[in-house]
Amino acid sequence: MEGRSQGAIAFVAAETADAQAAQATLIARYGQGDPAKANVIVVLGGDGTMLRTLHQTIDHRVQLFGMNCGTVGFLMNRFDVENLPERIAKARQSILHPLQMRVICQDGSEHLALAINEVYLSRETAQAARISIAIDGVERLPELVCDGIMVATPAGSTAYNLSAHGPILPIGSGVLALTPISAFRPRRWRGAILPHRAVVRFTIRDGDKRPVSATADFNEIRDISQVTVSEDRSIRLTLLFDPEHHLEERILQEQFQA
């Protein structure tokens, strides 16, 4: 948003040689702010680095401007040393809300985790998982036999969700993707699009024999019994994008790729 006041800019980088070299160059040009106090953090790397930085700063009101120095850069802007403060001042905001995953394990323990891209369940052994699905307290699918299933946000809909043949969701669409992973029964079930306020509950059938894990982005919990997923609207994450290539435009373009 034009006219935004940045204050000091902080830089964080992936451990790759390219990202580290880019960080050194940018710090030499613009200085290094304190990431704990900066209004804007410039993230250098790929989407994995951006995702980790979002998790690390989830309790802070900070804006993240990514520049691609990695292999995948869907959440990143192009890398350029020049005119960085001006680019940040003109950048457009995309607001993300993470998913909250509540897990009850087979041993009765309970766990919480947040996901910016997706929460996915997956079988732990060679045997397929058997999972029932309830939406807002109403059982919608008594049993899904599958390799797994996920709930994806719009920001995450172009990642694992897309690879599993799930729908691409525009930012601001107010929906979530419920996407099966290699569904065996019902064979023709392709998933569902849910309102973003939906509360999804997965219950594992025959979990002792067919163990299942649950993962929120990269935080995995094994031997689960039940998982509840809902959007946490109390958390706002702010990504900044160059106006000509903002996140909404990228998601639109992705739907027309061959």
Per-residue model confidence as pLDDT tens digits over 47-63: 999 999 999 999 888 99
Per-residue pLDDT, 65: 97
**The pLDDT of residue 67:** 97
CA 152 distance to own-chain centroid: 8
Give the 3-state secondary structure of residue 167: coil
Q: Does residue 198 lie within any of the structural domains?
A: yes
Is position 1 within any domain?
no
Query: Does 192 score more than 80 pLDDT?
Result: yes
CA atoms within 13 A on the CB side of 172: 9
Q: What is the pLDDT of residues 4-13, one digit of tens each?
A: 344 579 999 9
Domain range holding 87?
A: 9-97+236-254
- ∠154-155-156 over CA atoms, to 5°? 90
pLDDT of residue 1: 37
| CATH number, domain with residue 213 | 2.60.200.30
According to the model, what pLDDT value does residue 250 have? 73
47 is in an annotated binding site: yes
The question of whether 47 is a catalytic residue gets the answer yes
Looking at residue 6, what is its pLDDT?
45
Is 129 annotated in a binding site? The answer is: no
Residue 151 pairs in a beta bridge with 119, 178
Where is pLDDT greater, at 188 or 150? 150
Q: 51 and 106: one domain?
A: no
Question: Structurally, how many domains does the chain consist of?
Answer: 2
What are the pLDDT digits (tens) for 194-247? 999 999 999 999 999 999 999 999 999 999 999 999 999 999 999 999 998 777
**pLDDT score recorded for residue 230:** 98
Query: How many degrees, rounded to 5, is the angle at CA 172 between CA 248 and CA 60?
Result: 90
Residue 158, marked binder: yes
List the catalytic residue out of 47, 136, 206, 242.
47
pLDDT at site 7? 57
Same-domain status, 139 and 222: yes
Per cent of the chain over pLDDT 90 is: 83
**In which element (H, E) is residue 110 found?**
strand 110-115
pLDDT score recorded for residue 74: 84
Domain contains 4: no
Annotated binding residue 155: yes
Are residues 134 and 42 both part of a single domain?
Answer: no
CA dihedral 22, 26, 29, 31 (to 10 degrees): -140
- Report pLDDT for 32: 94
Q: Check the annotation: does 258 bind a ligand.
A: no
pLDDT at 3 over 50: no
Q: Are strands 192-195 and 175-185 parallel, antiparallel or unpaired?
A: antiparallel
Reported as a single tens digit per residue, the pLDDT across 90-127 is 999 999 999 999 999 999 999 999 999 999 999 999 99
Residues 117 and 192 in one domain: yes
Q: Is the pLDDT of residue 28 over 90?
A: yes
Q: What gap in Å lies between CA 140 and CA 137, rounded to an integer?
A: 9
Share of the chain above pLDDT 70, in %: 97
Cβ–Cβ < 8 Å for 223, 91: no
On whether residue 46 sits in a domain, the answer given is yes
